[in-house]
Amino acid sequence: MEQLDMIHGMTFYIESDRDRTLNEDSIKTSLKIMQEETGANTTMISFATWMNTAHSESFDWHQDTPDDELLRHVISYAKEVLGLRVFLKPMINCHDGQWRAYISFLDHGSGTEGTWQNWFACYGDYMNYYADLAEETGCELLMVGCELVMSEHCESLWRTLIANVRRHYHGLISYNTDKYQEEWVNWWDAVDVISSSGYYPLGTWSENLQRIKETVEKFQKPFFFAECGCPSRHGSSSLPNDWTKQGALDLEEQKDYFEDMLSALSEADWVRGCVIWSWNADDVYYASENDSYSVYHKPAAKVLKQHWD
Print the SS3 string covering 268-280: CCCEEEEEEEEEE
Q: Which of 87, 66, 84, 55 is nearest to 16 (CA)?
A: 66
Reported as half-sphere exposure (CB side, CA atoms, 13 A), residue 73 has a value of 13
Question: 21 pLDDT exceeds 80?
Answer: no
User: What's the CA gap between 55 and 38, in Å, rounded?
Assistant: 38
The hierarchical CATH code for the domain 7-308 is: 3.20.20.80
Q: What is the mean pLDDT of residues 264-290?
A: 87
At residue 105's C-alpha, the angle toward residues 103 and 111, to 5°, is: 150
User: What's the CA gap between 34 and 10, in Å, rounded?
Assistant: 8
User: What's the CA gap between 214 and 163, in Å, rounded?
Assistant: 26
Residue burial 235-271, b: 16+ Cβ < 10 Å; e: rest: ebbeebbeeeeeeeebbebbbbbbbbbbebbeebeeb
Angle between helices 251-266 and 299-308 (to 10 degrees): 20
User: What's the pTM?
Assistant: 0.95
If you average pLDDT over every residue of the chain, what do you get?
A: 93
Domain edges within the chain: 7-308
Q: What pLDDT shows up at residue 284? A: 77
Q: Between these two residues, 40 and 61, which has the higher pLDDT value?
A: 40
Q: What is the mean pLDDT of residues 203-230?
A: 98
Contacts of 111 (CB under 8 A, 6+ apart): none
Q: What pLDDT shows up at residue 19? A: 46
Is residue 220 a contact partner of residue 269, using CB atoms and an 8 Å limit? no
Q: What pLDDT shows up at residue 154? A: 97
pLDDT confidence of 109, banded at 50, 70, 90?
low
pLDDT confidence of 47, banded at 50, 70, 90?
very high
User: What's the CA gap between 122 and 118, in Å, rounded?
Assistant: 6
Is residue 219 a contact partner of residue 175, using CB atoms and an 8 Å limit? no
Question: 198 pLDDT exceeds 90?
Answer: yes
